[in-house]
Amino acid sequence: MAQETVTFEVRRYRPEREEAPVWERFEVPVREEWMVLDALNHIKDHVDGSLSYRWSCRMGVCGSCGMTVNGEPVLTCATYVASLPRDRPVRVEPLAAFPIVRDLVVDIRDFLVKLKKVKPWLLRKEERSPAEGEYLQTPEELADYKQYSMCINCLLCYAACPIVPLEPDFVGPAAIALAQRYNLDSRDQGQAERMAALSTEHGVWACTFVGDCSVVCPKHVDPAGAIQRYKVSATADWFRSVLMPWRGR
């Protein structure tokens, strides 16, 4: 099997040893079909077992292995080493916009708090009893929100968005896309409830439509589109509530 040695420059951060992250070089014998994740596993298995990083499914569905490779936020299990330029070392860093815990591991609790704020679950004003049967949905109604349901919470969009590090309270692309997944679901009645988290200066209004979030999303969720659509619907709703306050939501 074809093998060549590729130089990897990996960002290390061990708080018990250094004040700030440092680069460390590794020469990795890479097989031609390897992903960056395979190279990291090789380093951990054969070179330095203390290298810390997250991964799980190794097939692009769990969202664990997001890192910055050569300056781009990617899933390391979905990035071929062969697709990267060979004239310089491959640089692997932790995902941008999050605090670094150790080596390539970042702290994502901030995102989890923001996700909970947007109530990403079906909200009903009136629940139906099981005896009344399921909430039926046509394929067209499913198509309305399906794209936004594909999010795997990999947080590449948060790393790509410049507003996330600039405004720490910004709810962020994935959270808003997931909120839209429920807002646009025909079975959901919770749009008004979600507005408190979404239609604020730290919600959709902080977004300036840079658009990088949709570019890096490995699942083609298009969070930028979800946000812009919400801006339009929230604005329409705002005018409705100002001009026709007697109408209930």
Q: Which of 23, 88, 113, 162 binds another protein (CB under 8 A)?
A: 162
Q: Does 66 bind another protein (CB under 8 A)?
A: no
Q: Please choose, out of 59-67, 73-81, 113-121, 201-209, the segment that lies near another protein by the rule CB under 8 A.
A: 201-209
Q: Which of 136, 239, 246, 248 binds another protein (CB under 8 A)?
A: 239
Three-class DSSP category at 110: helix
Q: Are 180 and 118 in contact (CB under 8 A)?
A: no
Q: Which of 59, 112, 142, 166 binds another protein (CB under 8 A)?
A: 166
- Reading the block at residue 47, the tokens are 């070179």
Size of the site for another protein (CB under 8 A): 50
Q: Which of 37, 77, 81, 234 binds another protein (CB under 8 A)?
A: 234
Q: Which of 208, 217, 218, 244 binds another protein (CB under 8 A)?
A: 208
CA distance linking residue 130 with residue 15, whole number of Å: 54
In angstroms, give the least distance from the CB of 127 to another protein: 24
Q: At what angle do helices 191-198 and 223-243 cross, to 10 degrees?
A: 110
Q: Please choose, out of 58-66, 83-91, 121-129, 160-168, the segment that lies near another protein by the rule CB under 8 A.
A: 160-168
Q: Which of 186, 165, 180, 169 is nearest to 224 (CA)?
A: 180
Q: What would you measure as the largest C-alpha separation in the chain, in angstroms?
A: 73
In angstroms, give the least distance from the CB of 146 to another protein: 12
Q: Which of 167, 186, 187, 189 binds another protein (CB under 8 A)?
A: 167
- Reading the block at residue 144, the tokens are 């309305």
Q: Does 201 bind another protein (CB under 8 A)?
A: yes
CA distance linking residue 143 with residue 186, whole number of Å: 11
DSSP string, 73-88: EEEGGG-BGGGS-SSS
Q: Write the binding mask 27 to 56 for another protein: x where contact by CB under 8 A, - elsewhere.
A: ---------------------x-x------
CA distance linking residue 212 with residue 222, whole number of Å: 10
* Distance, C-alpha 114 to centroid of its chain: 12
Q: Does 244 bind another protein (CB under 8 A)?
A: no
CA distance linking residue 189 with residue 7, whole number of Å: 53
Task: Please count the CA atoms within 13 angstroms of the CA of 187 that sit on its side-chain side.
Answer: 14
Residues that bind another protein (CB under 8 A): 13-21, 48, 50, 71, 96, 99-101, 107, 140, 143, 162-163, 165-167, 195-196, 199-201, 205, 208-212, 215, 222, 224-225, 228-229, 231-232, 234-235, 237-239, 241-242
